Amino acid sequence: MTVLAMLAVSLFLQHEFDIKQMLLFLVGAGLGVTLLHAAFGFTGGWRSMIRERRSAGVRAQILLVVFTSALFFPVLGHLFPGVGAHAALAPVGMSVMVGAFLFGIGMQLGGGCGSGTLFTVGQGQMDMLVTLAFFIIGATIGSAHLHWWLALPSLGTLSLIDTYGWFPALVAQVTCLAILYAWSQRMERQRYGRVETLGVLHGGVKFTDRLLFGPWPLWWGVVGLGVLNLLTLLVGGHPWSITFAFGLWGAKIWSVLGGDVLAWPYWSTGYPAQALTQSVLADHTSIMDFGIILGAVLAAALAGKFAPAGAPLRWTRILAAVSGGLLLGYGARLAFGCNIGGLVAGMSSGSLHGWLWLVAGFTGTLVGVRFRTFLHLDPPLVSGP
Partner 1 sequence: MKGLNRWIMLVVIVLAGIAVAVDHFSYHRARPEAQGGFPLPDGDVEVGGYGAASDNTEE
Residues forming the site for partner 1 (CB under 8 A): 16-18, 20-21, 24, 84, 86, 88-90, 124, 126, 129, 146-147, 150, 157, 235-238, 241, 244, 252, 265-266, 269-272, 274-275, 277-285, 287, 290, 297, 306-310, 312, 336-337, 341, 346
In the complex, minimum distance from the CB of residue 91 to partner 1, in angstroms, rounded to a whole number: 8
Taking the least distance from each CB to partner 1, the nearer of 55 and 140 is 140
In the complex, minimum distance from the CB of residue 358 to partner 1, in angstroms, rounded to a whole number: 16
In the complex, minimum distance from the CB of residue 115 to partner 1, in angstroms, rounded to a whole number: 17
From the list 296, 222, 174, the residue with the least C-alpha distance to 42 is 222
Show Cβ contacts of residue 221 under 8 Å, excluding neighbours closer than 6 positions. Answer: 34, 35, 37, 38, 39, 40, 60, 64
Taking the least distance from each CB to partner 1, the nearer of 22 and 56 is 22
In the complex, minimum distance from the CB of residue 229 to partner 1, in angstroms, rounded to a whole number: 14
Taking the least distance from each CB to partner 1, the nearer of 210 and 252 is 252
Q: Please provide the size of the chain in residues.
A: 385
Taking the least distance from each CB to partner 1, the nearer of 287 and 328 is 287
Taking the least distance from each CB to partner 1, the nearer of 10 and 184 is 10
Show Cβ contacts of residue 122 under 8 Å, excluding neighbours closer than 6 positions. Answer: 32, 36, 292, 293, 294, 295, 296, 297, 299, 300
CA–CA dist 37, 34 (Å, integer): 5
DSSP secondary structure of 71-107:
HHHHHHTTSSTT--------EEEHHHHHHHHHHHHHH
Describe the crossing of helices 126-150 and 114-122 by its angle, rounded to 10 degrees.
150
Count CB neighbours of 174 within 10 A: 16
Taking the least distance from each CB to partner 1, the nearer of 309 and 382 is 309
In the complex, minimum distance from the CB of residue 4 to partner 1, in angstroms, rounded to a whole number: 13
In the complex, minimum distance from the CB of residue 297 to partner 1, in angstroms, rounded to a whole number: 8
Say if CB 369 and CB 378 are below 8 A apart. yes
From the list 101, 123, 108, the residue with the least C-alpha distance to 45 is 108
